[in-house]
Amino acid sequence: MRLDRFLAECGVGTRSEVKKLIRKGAVSLNGASQSKADAVVLPERDEVFVFGEKVIYREFIYLMLNKPAGYISATRDGKTPAVLELVPEEHLHFEPFPVGRLDIDTEGFLLLTNDGDLAHRLLSPKKHIPKTYIAEIEKPVSPEDIEAFSNGVVLDDGYKTMPAKLTPISNNSPYLAEIVINEGKFHQVKRMFESVGNKVLYLKRTKMNDLELDENLELGEVRELTEDELLLLQNTDR
Ligand code: URA
């Protein structure tokens, strides 16, 4: 790839900023000063320094967001605050996007990445990636609800869900339950509870695939995944 693009992708600056740096002689490629913005760089092979500091190339970024209510998961619609507004500036040049959607009023674990292949695998209906939620509901969970969820319930549009694991956490007010689903239909958890005559009052995603939300992450906070965490997420062949 071109040197200016390489530097921009590494977060050194915008395309025009890095072009200026290259013109100024601040950039060296494999030990020699390089003044051509279109010099070819192979990230795995070449060594690039800016002001004597080595530039580390990285293609992908993986971010965990503890999504607060009030933000949409879409990239941006201009009016409603979008989750990308919570991503620190330093990560934005990677162009991360949210993997799947949480409703505007749902909180918890949202993955943002620019790794389209991983996003595709995590969202593929063929992969049945488990997603775990904690729901506060209007009424306590009954043994019949647990049974119904484990067989799959019929939603308002006639769709029969895959089996889901429903576990009551508190059958005293506030009524809380954990639910694990292996698909991602629109408003799925809310509609599943509706199908058994209950109502979700609050919803939080706590886990995606084998990776749990870091409970130390404040609402609205974002951090990069560790390598071990990434491995838990990447394991999509079950
Ligand atoms: N199910 C829902 O109903 N809403 C979400 O945000 C996620 C799953």
Q: Is 69 exposed, middle or buried (0-12, 13-18, 19+ CB in 10 A)?
A: middle
SS3 136: strand
pLDDT of residue 80: 83
CATH 3.10.290.10 in the chain is located at 3-54
Atom of ligand 1 nearest to the CA of 101: 6
Select from 100, 99, 97, 109 the least CA-distant residue to 65.
109
pLDDT of residue 77: 66
CATH 3.30.70.1560 in the chain is located at 131-208
pLDDT of residue 186: 95
Residue nearest to atom 3 of ligand 1 (CA): 187
CATH number for the 131-208 domain, one of 2.40.30.330, 3.40.50.300, 3.10.20.30, 3.30.70.1560?
Answer: 3.30.70.1560
CB 51 within 8 A of CB 58: no
Question: Any idea which architecture 62-125+211-234 has in CATH?
Answer: 2-Layer Sandwich (3.30)
- Best residue among 104, 187, 195, 198 to mutate for probing ligand 1's pocket (most ligand atoms within 8 Å of CB) is 187
User: Model-level pTM?
Assistant: 0.90
Asked whether 190 lines ligand 1 (CB < 6 A), one says: yes
Question: Which parts of the chain register pLDDT below 70?
Answer: 76-77
Select from 127, 81, 124 the least CA-distant residue to 99.
124
Asked whether 106 lines ligand 1 (CB < 6 A), one says: yes
Kindly list the distances between the CA atom of residue 69 and the CA atoms of 13, 104, 133, in Å, as whole numbers in the listed order.
32, 6, 15
Fold for 3-54, please state it: 3.10.290
Select from 172, 170, 164, 210 the least CA-distant residue to 191.
164
Q: List active site positions.
A: 103
pLDDT of residue 76: 67
Atom of ligand 1 nearest to the CA of 205: 7
Measured distance CA(138)–CA(132) in Å, rounded: 19
Measured distance CA(45)–CA(86) in Å, rounded: 35
Helix 227-234 vs helix 116-123: crossing angle, to nearest 10: 50
Measured distance CA(58)–CA(44) in Å, rounded: 10
Ligand 1 centroid – CA 187 distance (Å): 4
Q: What is the 3-state secondary structure (H, E, C) of 143-202?
A: HHHHHHHHHCCECCCCCECCCCEEEEEECCCCEEEEEEECCCCCCHHHHHHHHCCCCEEE
